[in-house]
Amino acid sequence: MSLYKIFFLCILQHLFVIEVLSSWHQEITLSTGIGTFIGNIDTVTFDGDSKHVQRYLGIPYAKPPVGERRFARPEPFGTFSDVYNATFHRPHCIQVIPPFYKHLEDMVKSEDCLYLNIYVPGNTTSKNNSLAVMLYIYGGSFAIGGADIYSGDILSAFNDVIVVTINYRLNVFGFLSNGTKSSGNYGLWDMRMAIQWVHDHINEFGGDPTRVTLFGNSAGGAAAMYQAIYPQNKGLFQRIVAQSGTVLSFWAFQKNPTEVFASYIKDTNCDLSDYDQIIVCLRSKSVKQLQTDSWSFLPSVDRDFLHKDPSSILFDDSFEGKSAQKFFAEIDVIIGVAGSDGAVNVPIWEEELKEKQIDIKTGVPRSYFENVKVPEIITTVFGKTSPMLTESVIHQYTDWTRPDDALTTRRNMVDLASDSEFFLPAINSIQKHSDIVMKGRKSTSFFYVFDQKPSFVPYPDWLEGATHTMEVAYVFGLHESLERKLVDDLGGVDPFKVTQDDIKLSAQMMTLWSNFAKSGDPSSPVTATSFEWPQYNTNEQKYLNIVVKMTSQSVKHHLAATRIAFWQELAPVLQRCNTEQITSNAPYSSVHFTTSVSVILYLWKLFF
């Protein structure tokens, strides 16, 4: 064959490839009441099948929070005077990346970050579609993360829902507060504005504004629930899925914003007498001057979004509490955990033990558990260490058939972290919702435990079951956008690969989640399992144990019942006893009598 023929064939082949690619990446123009958007149509593949999806990326829902809008609530973006290019992602919000989150290091970051992404199934958009909408709020301790890591196109295309992902301000930029009214929670207000934008405009993309579900993992789950206890959100969404995070998680709420604020303004040389002057000073600083490695900036009481701490909002009888509880009761809810959520701490434990020349693979010494971890966890949960409570926790989380076994102690340490950081807040939250619903409300309550260890994340190899965030990849169809996160940060296999079991479980979870978004019932309208996922109630406490090859036996009840009863009933009594003992001079006061009776009653219920 001559060189000319080879050259000619190469040109034809090149043109053919371009034509094929262009057919898979067609641009689409959508005219709406607020402007015209250019998106794109692509083809996505799952389990050997391919479907079309439309993407509208990087749409601003608020004005850039810069200059006078830094450390202020977001302002609506408004309308678009020109055709808007929605074919690419915009920057993540400003964040300081810790060493163990490598996948975020190369992401572009900016204060101008309040954008959302919309994924629409099919290759045409119609206002008559009325598709259910799923709005994802990413996790990351309210300090790190970004929307584009969680691509919604597989979930959207294969489950006939619209998926929206949003950015919101993080860390000091999102949650700096001096503890006074209307100060802080800018990240929560960002989320609310994005939710409002979706409510107002998603019908233009074929979405149903009366069927909007918020879902998120970890801090994203807590964020979804924060929105669900803010009564002014009434009508903006109808359901939430809180995955391994609720407002009752101690790590999701800042108790001392005033102290943190005072320390921070000293570090930034803005320690002035007047609050307005302080904010002017902070706005004059560069982003680099304001960044901080501290993760102390979290949602806090601002007497507007949060009138009180979340526990008081959910459990007291104040006007604000009752109003929030009434709204929460109107929302359909799924709350869940990963079976070994507490293993999120393993990298920290590994480093601490390594300094003692101990490999965590060989187990955990009892001395480290008793003298370091138990006091640390109790201090974090309760604010101070109670000797009586400390000893009780050690007793509760010891296998007395082999108390000095290092492998058993390691398992108990994971259980302790799981219970205190995730299980207890999740169960208290779903019980509260279920109790309100049982009083005549019409919403639904579901609970799950995700306990499938992914084939693609073997770390830590000594642990059975699922660690924190492991369900997220399945919910998003094992999308390649999550591969770098799984490989770089979570010990995923490289090159990345999944098994057929992973694919089947992912298909089931996408169906369960999207069913819930459509109807409030994860078992309908599309069949996901051969059995129904029953609602949760405080008496039966049924939940779905999510694993590969689920059967009716996957419906279980009373998760970690003895351990949870310890935290719900005995631990508060012991902590209260320690606190009141300090203020009581009587050798045997009524405090001691009341505590003794409480402990006896607890033990009676436990054993009889």
- State the catalytic residues: 218
Please, are residues 134 and 522 in contact by the beta-carbon 8 Å criterion?
no
* Pair type for strands 162-166 and 131-137: parallel
Q: For residues 45 and 26, what is the distance between their CA atoms, to the nearest angstrom?
A: 17
Give the residue among 571, 258, 254, 247 at the shortest CA–CA distance from 385.
571
How far, in Å, CA of 471 to CA of 468, rounded? 8
- Tell me how far the alpha carbon of residue 597 is from its chain's centroid: 39
φ and ψ at 423, to 5 degrees?
A: -65, -50
What Å distances lie between residue 424 and 227, 267, 351, 592, CA to CA?
20, 36, 27, 26
String of DSSP letters for 523-560 = TSSS--SSS--PPP-TTT-EEEEE-SS--GGGEEESTT
| Short-list 572, 511, 588, CA closest to 544 | 511
State whether the Cα torsion 307-310-316-322 is positive or negative. Answer: positive
In 3D space, the residue among 331, 337, 336 whose CA is nearest the CA of residue 437 turns out to be 331
Task: List C-alpha distances in Å: 411 to 336, 462, 469, 566.
Answer: 21, 10, 19, 18
Residues forming a β-bridge with 467: 340
Residue identified by tokens 């009138």 is 307
Residue with tokens 């409570």: 389
Q: Are 261 and 178 in contact (CB under 8 A)?
A: yes
